[in-house]
Amino acid sequence: MEQVVNAIVLGSCYCLFAIGLSLTWGTLNVLNLAHGAVFMFSAFTCYLLTQHLDLAIPLPWLILIAMAVGAAMELALDLLVFRPIRKRSKTLADAELSMLIASIGAAAIPVTIAQKVTIDSPFTVTAKPINTTEYHIGSVYITNIEILIVVFTLVLTVGLAIWLQRSNSGRALRALSFDAETGGLMGISQGRMSALVLVLSGMTAGAAGVFLAVFLDSLTPESGSDLLLAAFAAVVIGGVGSVWGTLIGAFILAAGETLVSATTSGTWTQAVSFGLIIVVLLLRPSGLFSRVNVNRT
Amino acid sequence: MSVLLEVADVNVHFGGVRAVDGIDFDLETGCLYGLVGPNGSGKSTLLGALSRMTNLTSGRLVFAGEEYQTYSPAKTARMGIGRTFQAVRLIPGLSVLENVMLGGDARTAGVGIFANWLLPWRTRNCERSCREGAMEAIERLELTGLEKRTAGMLPYGTQRRVEIARALAAKPDLLLFDEPTAGMNREERDEVGEVMRSLRGQGLTQVLVEHDMQMITEVCDYVFVMNFGKVIAQGDPEAVVADPLVQEAYLGKRGSKNATA
Amino acid sequence: MNAWYSAHVVLFQTTAIYAVLALSFQVVLRSGVFSFASVGFFGIGAYVSANLAKHGVSGVLSMIIVFVGSAIFGYALSLPLVRLRGLYLGMVTFAFDQILIVVANNGGTYTGGPVGLFGIPFDVSTLELFIVAAICLLLVSQLERRSIGRSISVLRVDEQLARSMGVEVNRQRNFIFALSAALGGLAGVLNTFNFSTIAPGGFGFDLIVAGLTMAVVGGIGSWLGAVIGALIVVWFPQVFTFVGSYKAIVYGVLVILVVAYEPGGVLGLLQRGVRAIAALIEKRSSGGAEVPVEEKKVVPSVPPPATTPQKGVTA
């Protein structure tokens, strides 16, 4: 039972992280490999505040700070990197490749800074005062932080899904994901939408950063690229651009990983994501849960 | 006259839409065919099917005695069926000559990648004959002097002519034109028409998809009219134009829109 | 000169190794195949050759084994992957690199776990290193001219057009992928033999960044770009020592600037410069006469409003 709780919490963190990746890919055709670096750096900022400056910041504030850092980073990424590329690229494929490469370049910056400061060692985020309470439900132990992570994720995911379906901006986004050109003709500003999506994805990445740092106790400057692998799996299982799909994909992955780490020595857990990616992409390239058949050519 | 291309009961369905619905015809060597019809009548889809860019739902395609409905588009091209596209599709960064030579490669492209490492002299000979063929095509389309210019920087009409030159450089046996003169002015159209006539004189079989009825009547030997995926009329251009069925397809219920002339 | 050379011989060696890795990236990017698998194959080549060396296999032989083996493995890998386009391929190959690090960490005595392998005998001389790099450059440069060169450039810009020009697109992509894998593996072998050590950290995210920097900043249009890129990446920290261990940041910024503002890379910049100078000279020699014959403004390659007036059917 303990494992089930672990899987649910882990799945929530994956989901938070993967949603931003899925949205940017689905709506903007950007595979943002800097997403992992943003995630790591948001947690890293909290680490600097709590450990280096020795500030006592309660967890809710840390979450807000991380979300702000994440949002600011991805906004900068959009304005300084993606926008100029989009403006100057001649074809969509050109823009896709350029933005993919540029996002790796951009990721190098925060990763290097973090490596330098931590001297390549793991860091941890401690919210002070952190009062962990354990609850017993039958035979299950669950801490208040774990509950917070799961509830936060579910509320955010459901909220995002509803927002995408109901609100004007959400509809505009979905229109954009089908056809940027027509969207433009309909008066949807791609620039503003792109900024909006990246800010959203930065906020979720930031929250995921703090959560995972607290849940796992430690992160490394390279955690971002490890997590990217997990997020790829979640996104691919769920279908690119689908919020619900990402949620389900994240839980499937977390369940698989928990199972593997419970039955083996634990160092092979990442192979689960890789295996899932390969299997899903080869068998059902549009994702297990996507309704629209995304054009992959 | 011998039959070059046999199209037998070809269907292309997209979901429930019958874009091409049971087309049957033979094309004879050395004729210039016109393919007309209102927007969405299935002309371009049929052209796509003939060049194997679009998969058939059912039917048979026979080119010079060879059944090819299962071939890849590339193999179809190498077999000698060339085509142009509705939109200009040059490689903007390459020169005119290189773009046209791309067409010249069509018969040999992809054959023996390793030859580039092991048999450089062979590829050199290929290159020479490719260049010669390309220069010929360039001359034919009156592009001489522009060989070294970057294709993307040329005026629109010139780019279209480069495309036709590229298709010619492949020395196809059957050439499918998908609205080759779209966006050209009258004078440029007439020039292209003349090129087609002279190619016909040399025995090249051509299919021309075109909206411009004047061009069709002036250039083509035989015309197919499509609507809703079917051939609704065929025959001599003058006669087809006068066919009430054809007039209805074009003018239809939408009234006298576009009925100039 | 000689003293300077021997003081910097490591940098020369690294340049040769990195040039091969850069070629591995450049070959795929030039064809419009979004693959980062080069780094994974670098790791495979490095570990395989270390293990071969343990069993007394000579350097040249293990280069050949890895080159051919990587090509075959890469080709096999490309068969299922060829259906994936664009970002999906980028994602899978990135995941491939990541998973190989996991494998290396768990490989027991074959990989030495997180510590890696060390003390592998040096088995290539600097001269051999340069010969191998030169052969690779020759191989790749042959694919940039004539028919094959054109077909690869059209592959990146317009796949459907490539098909209509008789190019078997998938077969070509498989071939390119295999070649890139072989070059990546070879770079790994050279790296092992030259530095006598390999660890999982040696082919991680940093190497992807370095490889991309070389290919992209140098210019993906040509093998020459890969050479320029390797020179930049290897010698830049040497010349600008103040960058120190922050060099990855400089690479990151460089990559962003190049893809956003000069997609041709340094090579493209140089070519433009040469062309401009040539035009200037031509102008001089023709006594300032007008050079452009019928230079028209750049015309958008979008057709004017598509509806050409139909000449009604009633003739």
Q: Name the domain count of chain A.
A: 1
Range of the domain at A80: 2-221
Tokens of C41: 């194959």
Q: For residue A123, give Cα distances in angstroms to A58, A113, A216, C205.
A: 18, 13, 11, 19
pLDDT recorded at residue B19: 81
Instruction: Please report which confidence band the pLDDT of residue C161 belongs to, taking 50, 70 and 90 as the band edges.
Output: confident
- Contact list in C for residue B159 (CB cut-off 8 A) is 299, 301
In the predicted model, residues of chain B with pLDDT beneath 70 are 1, 108-112, 251-261
pTM: 0.82
Chain mean pLDDT for chain C: 81
For each of the domains in chain C, give its residue range(s) and CATH number, in order of start: 2-270 (1.10.3470)
Instruction: Please report which confidence band the pLDDT of residue A131 belongs to, taking 50, 70 and 90 as the band edges.
Output: low
Counting one residue from chain B and one from chain C, the pairs whose CB atoms sit within 8 A come to 161
pLDDT recorded at residue C233: 85
**Alpha carbon distance A257, A275 (integer Å):** 11
Running DSSP on this structure, what letter comes out for residue B105? Answer: G
- Tell me which of A195-204, B28-37, C41-50 is least confident: B28-37
Q: Which residue of C has its CA nearest to B105?
A: C147
Q: Domain spans of chain B? A: 1-80+172-180+205-261, 83-171
Q: How far is B150 from chain C (nearest CA, A)?
A: 11
CB–CB contact B126 C139 (8 Å): no
Q: How far is C14 from chain B (nearest CA, A)?
A: 27
- Contact list in A for residue C34 (CB cut-off 8 A) is 96-97, 100
Residues C36 and C95 sit within 8 Å (Cβ to Cβ): no
- Let me know if residue A197 belongs to a domain: yes
- Tell me which of A181-190, C48-57, C89-98 is least confident: A181-190
pLDDT recorded at residue A178: 60
Q: Is C108 on the interface with A (CB under 8 A)?
A: no
Interacting residues of B238 by C-beta distance below 8 A, sequence separation 6+: B217, C315
Helix/strand/coil (H, E, C) string of chain C?
A: CHHHHHHCHHHHHHHHHHHHHHHHHHHHHHCCCCCCHHHHHHHHHHHHHHHHHHCCCCHHHHHHHHHHHHHHHHHHHHHHHCCCCHHHHHHHHHHHHHHHHHHHHCCHHHCCHHHCEECCCCCCCHHHHHHHHHHHHHHHHHCCCHHHHHHHHHHHHCHHHHHHCCCCHHHHHHHHHHHHHHHHHHHHHHHHHHHCEECHHHHCHHHHHHHHHHHHHHCCCCHHHHHHHHHHHHHHHHHCHHHHHHHHHHHHHHHHHHHHHCCCHHHHHHHHHHHHHHHHHHHHHCCCCCCCCCCCCCCCCCCCCCCCCCCCCCC
Q: Which residue of A has its CA nearest to C36?
A: A101
pLDDT recorded at residue A202: 93
**Alpha carbon distance B154, C231 (integer Å):** 37
Instruction: Please report which confidence band the pLDDT of residue A55 belongs to, taking 50, 70 and 90 as the band edges.
Output: confident
Q: How far is B195 from chain C (nearest CA, A)?
A: 21
Checking if the pLDDT of C309 tops 80, the result is no
State the burial class of residue B114 (Cβ atoms within 10 Å of its Cβ: 0-12, 13-18, 19+): exposed
Tokens of B71: 């071939």
Long-range own/partner contacts, residues C112-118 (CB < 8 A, 24 or more apart): C112/C199, C114/C199, C114/C200, C115/C199, C116/C197, C116/C198, C116/C199, C116/C200, C116/C201, C116/C202, C117/C47, C117/C50, C117/C197, C117/C198, C117/C199, C118/C196, C118/C197, C118/C198, C118/C199
Instruction: Please report which confidence band the pLDDT of residue C315 belongs to, taking 50, 70 and 90 as the band edges.
Output: very low
- Let me know if residue A33 belongs to a domain: yes
Paired with B32 in beta bridges are: B206
Q: Which of B178, B186, B211, B225 to mutate to test the interface with C (most CBs of C within 10 A)?
A: B211
Question: How long a stretch of residues is chain C?
Answer: 315
- Sign of torsion over alpha carbons A141, A145, A146, A152: positive
Checking if the pLDDT of C21 tops 90, the result is yes
Is the confidence metric ipTM above 0.95 for this complex? no
Q: Is C306 on the interface with B (CB under 8 A)?
A: yes
Of B128 and C47, more confident: C47
pLDDT recorded at residue B104: 76
pLDDT recorded at residue C66: 92
Of C47 and C115, more confident: C47
DSSP string, B148-181: TSBGGGS-HHHHHHHHHHHHHHT--SEEEEESTT
Per-residue pLDDT tens digits for A4-49 = 888 888 889 899 999 999 888 888 888 898 999 999 999 889 888 8
- Let me know if residue A177 belongs to a domain: yes
pLDDT recorded at residue A71: 93
**What's the CATH architecture for B83-171?**
3-Layer(aba) Sandwich (3.40)
**Alpha carbon distance C146, A103 (integer Å):** 34
Of A208 and A126, more confident: A208
Of C283 and C79, more confident: C79
Mean pLDDT to the nearest integer, A227-233:
87
CB–CB contact A104 C259 (8 Å): no
pLDDT recorded at residue B252: 57
Chain mean pLDDT for chain A: 81
pLDDT recorded at residue C303: 41
- Contact list in C for residue A227 (CB cut-off 8 A) is none
pLDDT recorded at residue C179: 93
The pair phi, psi for residue A17, each rounded to 5°, is: -70, -45
CB–CB contact C105 A236 (8 Å): no
Q: Which residue of B has its CA nearest to C152?
A: B110
Tokens of A73: 């980073």
- Let me know if residue A262 belongs to a domain: no
Interacting residues of C58 by C-beta distance below 8 A, sequence separation 6+: C123
Per-residue pLDDT tens digits for C54-102 = 888 888 888 999 999 999 999 998 888 877 777 888 888 888 888 888 8
Q: Which of B160, B210, B213 to mutate to test the interface with C (most CBs of C within 10 A)?
A: B213
Of A267 and A128, more confident: A267
**Alpha carbon distance C216, C226 (integer Å):** 8
- Contact list in A for residue C263 (CB cut-off 8 A) is 88, 94, 98
Checking if the pLDDT of A295 tops 60, the result is no
Q: Reduced to 3 states, what is the DSSP secondary structure of residue B27?
A: strand
Q: Reduced to 3 states, what is the DSSP secondary structure of residue B231?
A: strand
Topology given in CATH for the domain delimited by B1-80+172-180+205-261: Rossmann fold (3.40.50)
Instruction: Please report which confidence band the pLDDT of residue C314 belongs to, taking 50, 70 and 90 as the band edges.
Output: very low
Checking if the pLDDT of C142 tops 50, the result is yes
pLDDT recorded at residue C23: 93
- Let me know if residue A19 belongs to a domain: yes
